[in-house]
Amino acid sequence: MKKRKLGPELEVSALGLGCMGMSYSYAPFPAKKDSIKIMHQAIEEGITFFDTAEVYGPYTNEELVGEALAPYSDQVVIATKFGFNIEDGKMTGVNSRPEQIRKAVEGSLMRLGVETIDLLYQHRVDPKVPIEDVAGTVKDLILEGKARFFGLSEAGANTIRRAHAVHPVAALQSEYSLWTRQHEQEIIPTIEELGIGLVAFSPLGKGYLTGKIDENRKFEPGDIRAVIPRFSEDARIANKDLLDVIHQFASQKNATPAQIALAWVLAQKPWIVPIPGTTKSHRLTENNGADLIEFTIEELRDLEQASAQVKIVGARYTEAQERATGL
């Protein structure tokens, strides 16, 4: 698989693997041995970049990733995140106070079984803590050898600039796909100016852009899509117009809809790294095939024009999720 850089120094595979769904948000979850097998397959297929967070579980996802990747610690880049209070096994709100960051990092190091976290993100901005204090704390942790690179997640342009002025931000992790493009207005130009990479989560629209989720799909208890407005039955019907566009280009390129959706993200900038998640072996291989798809300038223009005519129905999260979710 090709490689890309997040910031000037952090090199990762062009596609990463989002591990959240192995133990959080997309129930039912696979057996641990099956998740470990998927991560090992990912390495065999060229993936070097794995994404987790302390709140995924909480804690269980970091433990899973740590166990699975222990034999490959010198071959992989592991990203994890801090930024929430966790009480009695539940996330109870944002918290990026310096002492909380240090507590979270110590826990992550232990669960991941590493001495240094490759990429350490603030999971969500804490409005009660100046971002300068957050960046300063991470800077100290990097100097202490407990982290290598600093990242932010779903942060605004001004916050990114302020953090970057204290310590260079290697990557911003935010949602980006053919049906979630609001960051093109201000965020992407800002990080391009600053030399910051974009790690695109949910590049397959939480599965919808694969074409495998229609209006008849019933979501399992514990699957967050059951309450997301964009996954209501009416929205799934309305948004089929975008699927029709993706299917058309998939047919032209002898590819699957998932591969077209991922290849589109890859084609936007050379410093964007999508991190689709999956718990299925054949889907992992399918997703990784997107790295081989190249669009001509004309094909990208046509895909852009066709998709721009589709009005996406439904918000990407509920209001409560937008305010406080760890997704």
Asked if residue 82 belongs to a domain, the reply is yes
Q: Could you give the CA distance from residue 264 to residue 276 in angstroms, rounded to a whole number? A: 13
CB 157 within 8 A of CB 194: no
Quickly state the pLDDT bin for 324 (edges 50, 70, 90). low
Instruction: Find the CATH number of the domain harbouring 167.
Output: 3.20.20.100
Q: Which two tokens stand for residue 297?
A: 């300038």
11 in any annotated domain: yes
**3-state SS assignment for residue 276:** coil
Specify if 220 maps to a domain.
no
Does 24 fall in a domain? yes
Q: What is the pLDDT of residue 321?
A: 75
Q: Which helix (H) or strand (E) holds 191?
A: helix 187-194
Is 142 within a domain?
yes
- What is the spatial distance between Cα 317 and Cα 327, in angstroms, rounded to a whole number? 10
What letter would DSSP give residue 168? -
pLDDT tens column, 53-96: 999 999 999 999 999 999 999 999 999 999 999 999 999 999 99
121 is catalytic: no
Residue 148 near residue 117 (C-beta atoms within 8 A): yes
| Size (the chain), residues | 327
Any domain includes 8: yes
Output DSSP code: residue 229: G
Report how many domains make up the chain. 1
pLDDT tens-digit series, residues 291-316: 999 999 999 999 999 999 999 999 99
Domain membership of residue 316 (yes or no) is no
Distance from C-alpha of 324 to C-alpha of 33, rounded to nearest angstrom: 31
Q: How confident is the model at residue 320, as a pLDDT?
A: 79
- Judge whether 216 lies within some domain: no
For β-strands 147-153 and 49-51, DSSP reports them as unpaired
Catalytic residue among 26, 56, 59, 176: 56
- By residue range, what is the domain housing residue 47? 3-204+268-292
